[in-house]
A and B are shown apart, each in its own frame.
Chain A
Amino acid sequence: MNPNIASALLNLLNPTNLLFIIIGVGAGIIVGALPGLTATMAIALLVPFTFAMSPIKGLVLLGGIYTGAIYGGSFSAILINTPGTPSAIATTFDGYALTKKGEAYKAIVTATISSVIGGLIGVLFLIFLSPPLSRASLKFGPPEFFWLTIFGLTIIATLASKSILKGLIGGAFGLLISTIGISPIEGDVRFTFNILSLQDGVGLIPALIGFFCIPEILNMIGRREKHYNVIPYRKQKHVVANVTLKLIRRPILLIRSAIIGTFIGIIPGAGGNIAGMVSYNEAVRASKFPKKFGKGIIEGVAASEASNNAEVAGSLIPLLTLGIPGAPPAAVLLGALLLQGMRPGAELFTVHGSVTYTFIFSLILSNLLLLPMGIWSGKGISKLITHIPVPFLAPFILFLTIIGSYSINNNMFDVYVMLFFGVLSFIGKRIEFDPGPIVLGLILGKICEQGLVQAILMGRAHHSILMVFFARPISVILIILTVVSAAWPFIRDRIGKKVKKI
């Protein structure tokens, strides 16, 4: 056995690590269940505090929160028809319909079991796909990294935004912010506007906290008067056994949803919401009774939940191997990795192998923990969702955003950065500029610039810049993928129109 795997398994038996996983999953479920608090936000708020912890404790905690929060989103989706996290949008379709029929408990049990199975399948992919991919990343030179970032940005612009143009603008804007500070190649001091603190560039974590937390809190303040009609949630006998049996008889439904979730997770920018929707659609298409969907059948809940929990592990595959986050929460996890001095790539699976594998295996535990924690805590959570104490919660989260952004460098300037991007992101969201592409641009900017400039220098040395950019096999694949993903929305519209004509 790989010695890293052996030591990772030992690390998992460490009681403090176990405790951190349990705390992470529990906190994640609560955060995910509360409408307005998302997984991304919870991870962004906690990353600064993991800085003081050992890498293993910090990462297993964040992994637990990520897993718990994506699952927790199903509670509010099922009970009050409001997805607690964007990932749970497709869960509302059949989940809330079940609740209206008085079968909320059945829906929650289905969500729990399918989340666990979906999550575990996703982790299996993570375990088996990551090491070979990370070895492949060793073959990446500057031109490949350049094209990889371009591919990541195109795909997020086309997938994550309502308007492709606005998505692309967001990505370019993020790239521009990333150029603030000292340039990586010739050491120019760029765009600091005479502010000394900007010489180091815009802090990634303060910017992430601003982009992902402030708009959510302001929205929460803006809609605080909302009242939810709650249908009482009661436990019923034999439901767990019945649902389990029913789901086991439909293995393809869960496996298909989990595979869709994992692969959508791998695609940069496409997060759990898309995973849930796609796999719900596929479940409807494959079903013998498509008309029953949306009227409250457990297959609908299972498809969405298996898929969005598989997406968690899927989104970590490109993150750990190439440094390209597969979904917004993974983008924040990248911040946590970098804070601990761990650079994504082959090194994570060799030098930091013990930590990385502990993190990956902890996700198995986190997923298994959903089963008891989700089913037992259902009642408490259903009460919590309907009585969100906004007058306490909103200032408290703001309190955490300030401590978090200050504590990384003990610098008030980071707090100003957080606030600036927070308000900017709130305004941007109101005019349909999604923070996703901006953040990805900010993260990928440095890699993109280094790739571009170094590739040009390489080309100079070989007397052919074009050859360096366009004639290397991995680059060619990445270019083709970029073109396809950029053209995809147009192709999709064309196909849609043709289908309508028929």
Chain B
Amino acid sequence: MIKKDVLASLALLGISAIFWIQSRNFTKYGALFPKTVTIILGFLSFLLLINSIVKILKNKSKESKLEKIQDVKSIIISIILIVAWVFFINILGFLTSSIIFFIIMYSLLVKKGIKLKKVVINIITIILSIVVFFLFFSKVLQVPFPTGILI
């Protein structure tokens, strides 16, 4: 936890530095607010850094009260899948890429040991419901959708 705090404060100090360097070219009043905020952010991040280093030196490792994630692997795979999904929307179109994403996501999340017949039925349900939702949003609610080569 505390080591993560060190990393976070270093990252925040980096962000403050980048924003500070960029804001040097702004006009007087355009730079006033961002410069003030970067100084404050930099100062607070520095405090966090000192704070967490002191805690490490004193060996005061505090257990995180947050709920432990049981399934880190699924989360990382999901993030990669979502990024891939968004990337493919522009190429394949929203409907096609969503159907592919839903099927992969479903196979990732579904419990092991489930019967093949049920999996097939569920996948067909997923495809049908996406199509229905897509039609509902695009035709009834008139929500625009990103398109690619396909729909």
Contacts and interface: CB of A to CB of B under 8 A. Distances in A.
B71 A224 contact: yes
Contacts of B30: 183, 185-188, 190
Given A176-B41, A429-B66, 16 more contacts: A169-B45, A176-B15, A185-B30, A187-B30, A188-B30, A222-B70, A223-B70, A391-B122, A394-B105, A399-B133, A403-B145, A415-B146, A419-B83, A430-B66, A431-B8, A457-B29
A398 B106 CA distance: 13
A336 B9 CA distance: 34
Nearest to A224: B109
Contacts of B31: 188
A100 to B, nearest CB: 22
List the 7 closest A-B pairs by CB distance, nearest first: A188-B30, A391-B109, A449-B33, A183-B30, A222-B69, A172-B41, A186-B30
Contacts of A176: 15, 19, 34, 37-38, 41
B106 A391 contact: yes
Contact of B12 (A52, A169, A407): A169
25 contacts: A49-B143, A165-B47, A169-B41, A176-B41, A179-B37, A188-B27, A190-B22, A190-B26, A190-B34, A222-B70, A224-B71, A225-B71, A391-B110, A394-B78, A395-B101, A398-B85, A406-B145, A407-B144, A410-B144, A412-B89, A419-B83, A419-B86, A423-B79, A449-B33, A457-B29
Interface of A: 48-49, 52, 162, 165-166, 168-169, 172-173, 175-176, 179, 183, 185-188, 190-191, 218-219, 221-226, 390-392, 394-395, 398-399, 402-403, 406-407, 410, 412, 415-416, 419, 423, 429-433, 448-449, 452-453, 456-457
B127 interface: no
B124 interface: no
B150 interface: no
B82 interface: yes
A391 B104 CA distance: 10
B19 A191 contact: yes
Contact of A431 (B1, B33, B130): B1
A195 B131 CA distance: 34
A398 B37 CA distance: 33
B67 interface: yes
B92 interface: no
A91 to B, nearest CB: 19
Contact of B8 (A185, A223, A433, A457): A433
A71 B83 CA distance: 34
A453 to B, nearest CB: 5
A431 B64 CA distance: 9
B33 A218 contact: no
A436 to B, nearest CB: 16
A185 B29 contact: yes
Q: Find the residue from B33, B36, B110 having the highest chain A CB count within 10 A.
A: B33
Interface string B52-87: 000000000000111101111011001100110110
Interface in B75-126: 75, 78-79, 82-83, 85-86, 89-90, 94, 98, 101-102, 105-106, 109-110, 122, 126
A398 B75 CA distance: 13
A15 B64 CA distance: 51
B135 interface: no
B34 A392 contact: no
A226 B133 CA distance: 29
A162 B48 CA distance: 14
Given A49-B143, A176-B41, A390-B109, A448 B33 contact: yes
Interface string B16-54: 000100110011111111101110110011011001000
Contacts of B141: 49, 52
Given A179-B37, A223-B69, A398-B82, A173 B12 contact: yes
Contacts of A402: 85-86, 89, 94
Contacts of B139: none
A161 B111 CA distance: 36
A169 B83 CA distance: 28
Contacts of B12: 169, 173
A72 B69 CA distance: 25
Given A188-B26, A391-B106, A419-B86, A456 B32 contact: yes
B124 to A, nearest CB: 13
Given A185-B29, A392-B106, A453-B32, A225 B37 contact: no
Contact of A165 (B48, B64, B67, B94): B48
A31 B40 CA distance: 38
Contacts of A179: 33-34, 37
Given A191-B34, A394-B109, A222 B102 contact: no
Contacts of A403: 137, 143, 145
A221 B74 contact: yes
B37 A172 contact: yes
A394 B130 CA distance: 13
Contact of B33 (A173, A423, A452): A452
Contact of B98 (A165, A172, A399, A448): A399
A175 to B, nearest CB: 5
Given A412-B89, A452-B33, A222 B143 contact: no
